[in-house]
Amino acid sequence: MINVTKTYLPNKKNYQKYVDEIYANGWITNNGPLVQKLENRLAKYLGVKNIILVSNGTTALEIAYRTLDLKGYAITTPFSFVATTSSLVTNGLHPIFADIDLDTLNIDPNKIENLITSNTSAIVPVHVFGNACNVEAIDKIAKKNNLKVIYDAAHAFDVKYKGKSILNYGDISTLSFHATKLFHTIEGGALIINDDSLVQKARYLINFGIKNTESIPDLGTNAKMNEFEAAMGLCMLDEIENIEKQREILYFTYKKELDEVVKFQQQNENSTLNYSYFPIILDSQEQTLKIQKALNSKNIFPRRYFYPSLDTLDYIEPKQFMPNSRDISERILCLPLYPELTKAEQMEIINIIISTIGITNEK
pLDDT attached to residue 138: 98
Determine which helix (DSSP H) or strand (DSSP E) holds 240, and give its type and residue range.
helix 227-258
pLDDT attached to residue 212: 84
Order of strands, sheet of 148-152, starting from the edge strand that comes earlier in the sequence: 51-54, 189-193, 172-176, 148-152, 120-124, 73-76, 94-97
Domain ends where: 234, 250, 278?
234
Query: Are 193 and 273 contained in the same domain?
Result: no
| CA 313 to chain CA centroid, nearest Å | 20
Q: Which domain holds residue 306?
A: 240-362
pLDDT attached to residue 42: 98
pLDDT tens for each residue of the chain, 363 residues long: 999 999 999 999 999 999 999 999 999 999 999 999 999 999 999 999 999 999 999 999 999 999 999 999 999 999 999 999 999 999 999 999 999 999 999 999 999 999 999 999 999 999 999 999 999 999 999 999 999 999 999 999 999 999 999 999 999 999 999 999 999 999 999 999 999 999 999 999 999 999 887 889 989 999 999 999 999 999 999 999 999 999 999 999 999 999 999 999 999 999 999 999 999 999 999 999 999 999 999 999 999 999 999 999 999 988 999 999 999 999 999 999 999 999 999 999 999 999 999 865 554
Q: Which residues pair with 191 in a beta bridge?
A: 52, 174
CB atoms within 10 A of CB 73: 20
Domain total of the chain:
2
CATH at residue 247: 3.90.1150.10
Query: Are 220 and 286 contained in the same domain?
Result: no
| Residue pair 63/90 in contact by the 8 Å Cβ criterion | no
pLDDT attached to residue 361: 55
Between CA 115 and CA 73 the distance in angstroms is 10
Domain ends where: 187, 203, 234?
234
Domain ends where: 234, 269, 297?
234
Q: Which residues pair with 193 in a beta bridge?
A: 172
- Of 126, 115, 122, the closest CA to residue 318 belongs to 115
Between CA 57 and CA 64 the distance in angstroms is 11
pLDDT attached to residue 187: 98
- Of 158, 90, 114, the closest CA to residue 316 belongs to 90
| Residue pair 129/56 in contact by the 8 Å Cβ criterion | no
| CA 155 to chain CA centroid, nearest Å | 3
